[in-house]
Structure 1
Amino acid sequence: MTDLEKPPAGGTTSRRHAAALALLVYAGVRALGLAALAAWCAGTGKSPHTLLSARWDSLWYVRVAEHGYGWEVTLPDGSVHSNLAFFPLLPWLERLVAGVGPLGHADAGLVVSAVASLCAAGGIFAVADRLYGRRAGVCAVALWAVLPVGIVQSMAYSESLFTALAAWSLYAVLTGRWVTAGLLASFAGLTRPVGGAVVLALWAAAVVEVRRRGRIGARVALGALLAPLGAAAYVLWVGHRTGGGLFGYLDVQEGWGNGFDGGYAFARFIGDKFTSVPGALAGLGLIVGVALLIWLYVVGVRQRQPLPLLVYTGVVLVLALCAAGYFGSKPRLLMPAFPLLLPLAVALARRRTSRSVLVIGGVAVAGAVYGAFWLNGSGPP
């Protein structure tokens, strides 16, 4: 039995109780966020339901669910926004839920997101519990719930669905369930472009396993082969549909102004903030935020997080921070990088319960207020 396959200490019953507590904490934080949004909308006259299910990317997903691919918008500057930029798993699930019940596709998206967010919380707990114990597992889930942009977890967006698939795929890798890990990684690749992070994490773990054993096992090989199929199938299909071949999907993203430039555009965006005093404060905040993310990753390395987690988190970080495009999207693009929260979860788990509750509660209130303010303002693009 390998180190990845060793079962965690402790009884199954107490572990289930801890997992239930983690989900209860998560649901409570999300309920607080929704209550804050409803209260804020009561003052602005906006509909919280519309903000959650029928704005920004949610509209694009619903259109794919209702009419399929092929719709695009040409902007005054000549750029083309095509719905081929949106991966298909979320709209497929919206269509499935809407087809078996009375809900429309937008409300079906909220249902999918709600269920997926609970599954994501469960996966985060499973990973953290296995590595650092139950208290750290509960704290990790709570920290993911109270993120400043955590309200996105309750929207008809794909972040919750992707995080659920990624977390459980990583847990399957850690426990030696290679075929399950490959299947989940494949579905993650059908959810968001960053699905490649899950694939690379599985491949890195597979290489280590092969080197340790001196041979490649059938399940390891099958899991490694399954992992990229989802993303590869969609990207190749888009290339065929657009006539762009292997680069067809990149052409679609370029129409949206997205691309990978190694962080040059983001650095210029931060630098431009320093032309005024208010902007300089915002720019300084962005620098501190990026530095904090890098520091948390380094701490994870020092804490000897398993290689699959480090590879996954590193790829998510690089893709989020070094991509050109709308910079307001970066906080939610970083949301799936939940292993960054593990050092903080470990630190909280070592504190007395009363102190941990006080910290989580305070951040939850602040996050709920910010989420309500955010959605009533610029919101997640």
Structure 2
Amino acid sequence: MSTSSVPRPEPAAPSGPLRRPALPPFVRRGIVEGALPALALFAAVRLAGILVVILTNDLRGHPLVRNLAHSWDSRWYLHIATQGYGHLIWITPKGAIQTDWAFFPLYPALIRALTTVLPVTPAQAAMLIAWAAAGTAAYGAYAIGHHLYGRGVATALVALWAVLPHAVELTIAYTESLFAALAAWSLYGVLKGRWLWAGSLAALAGLARPSGFAVAVAVALAAAHEAWRQRGRVPASLWAGAVLTPLGWLGHVLWVGSQTGDVLGGYLEVQRAWDSRFDFGAGSLRFLRALLLHGGGFVYPAALVIVAAGVLLFALLCLDRAPLALVVYTGVLMLLVVGGSGSFSSKPRFLLPAFPLLLPMARALARTWRLRRARAVLVYAALTGVSLLFGAYVLAVAHSPL
């Protein structure tokens, strides 16, 4: 009898729950476990923030979305993207000559590049870049939290970052979201020992903002510590990454100096015209004294509370013995905020990229979620409400510099 006529037995039904098909290794390497719910929450909160701003604009009779892409520094970035450097100056009432050389080139270069490949205006390109960078930064923050403490803390970290009072500034045409994205993935590269990746992203972060050298310092010191710990027996990629870290920031600083005729000091002169210099906290003390003596609008006391909370969170981060790169990065940003001059209302924005400050709170929120879920939901709902209202106020109502 032909073997083809013999009936074949049916395969046995699998016992137990069905398993998802395994993802290919190259896909698994690109996905940090459990990130999608955290990123969806981040996107939902920040989208709600934008909608509240639009509603506030409508109630006040203002253009609905113009202040998302044309507020304060945004206008300078858009002008650089369309006209290049050296074509825009502003003379302050005190006679200081402010030039566009104070603004770093990566963001306007990306805006210009996007408008050449997509049928969008510079303002639309600026918004697309800011939103994409905010999501990328949230993913990087999640990756760091997951690497250190697991999924629960990582989700809480992203959730808290989304509801900072001033988080609306992550989704307008500013550089904070771009800088935070580059910084987050550079720091993640340090934690994973991928030094070329970390150094390259640190160099790009140095082209995004003046505070970009905070990433360079963090990566370089982490590399030096690793070399000391391994008694110098480290891969060549570590040294290469450490060398790359300052090149972006240093390149722009020297270029500005060459444009002014003073290679080493020109950039500092340009920043001084913007009242941006490191004065060891003298400006912050003058602001505090004036606020106590004469009071101020809502934005300035709120900014003081946010900065003071940042100092406290930095102390907690140090007590938690966070990795050296995270401590150095956030420490340099805190030092620039507290020790630098300039409008105090802008200082909370300068702290936005310092997401590692939220790690102690994220650990506490994750514990609360496990033990008292209703309380965690109530706390998070309250924080969300404050964030949405405060963000709409500073962007659509207040006249203080962002």
- The TM-score normalised by the length of structure 1 is 0.92
Gap runs ≥5 in structure 2: 1-27
Q: Deviations over 1:317-345 (max 9, x none)?
A: 00012111111110101111111100000
1:82 aligns with 2:99: yes
Is the 8 Å Cα contact of residues 176 and 352 (structure 2) preserved in structure 1? Answer: yes
Q: Deviations over 1:246-294 (max 9, x none)?
A: 1111110111111110111111111111224x55998876665444222
1:319-334 → structure 2 map (5 Å cutoff): 319-334=336-351
Q: CA RMSD in A?
A: 1.9
Match of 2:250, as an amino acid? A
Match of 1:207, as an amino acid? A
Matched residue, 1:167: 184
1:178 aligns with 2:192: no
1:38-187 → structure 2 map (5 Å cutoff): 38-70=54-86, 71-187=88-204
Query: What percentage of aligned pairs have identical amino acids?
Result: 42
Match of 1:368, as an amino acid? L
Name the structure where helix makes up a greater proportion of residues.
Answer: 1
Matched residue, 1:26: 42
Is the 8 Å Cα contact of residues 197 and 241 (structure 2) preserved in structure 1? Answer: yes
1:108–1:284: structure 2 CA closer, same or farther, 3 Å change rule? closer
Matched residue, 1:262: 280
Matched residue, 2:221: 204
Is the 8 Å Cα contact of residues 102 and 270 (structure 2) preserved in structure 1? Answer: yes
Q: Deviations over 1:133-187 (max 9, x none)?
A: 1111111111111111111111010000000000000000000000000000000
CA distance in 1, matches of 2:56, 2:243: 48
How many residues are treated as equivalent by the alignment? 368
Gap runs ≥5 in structure 1: 1-11
CA distance in 2, matches of 1:212, 1:275: 51
Is the 8 Å Cα contact of residues 307 and 348 (structure 2) preserved in structure 1? Answer: no
1:333–1:284: structure 2 CA closer, same or farther, 3 Å change rule? closer
Matched residue, 1:233: 251
Q: Which has the higher contact order (CA 8 A, sep 6+)?
A: 1
Is the 8 Å Cα contact of residues 166 and 349 (structure 2) preserved in structure 1? Answer: yes
CA distance in 1, matches of 2:277, 2:324: 27
CA distance in 2, matches of 1:87, 1:288: 29
CA distance in 2, matches of 1:286, 1:179: 37
Is the 8 Å Cα contact of residues 235 and 249 (structure 1) preserved in structure 2? Answer: yes
Equivalent position SS for 2:265: helix
1:373 aligns with 2:393: yes
Match of 1:107, as an amino acid? Q
CA distance in 1, matches of 2:275, 2:307: 22
CA distance in 1, matches of 2:260, 2:216: 25
**Greater Cα radius of gyration, structure 1 or 2:** 2
CA distance in 2, matches of 1:20, 1:157: 25
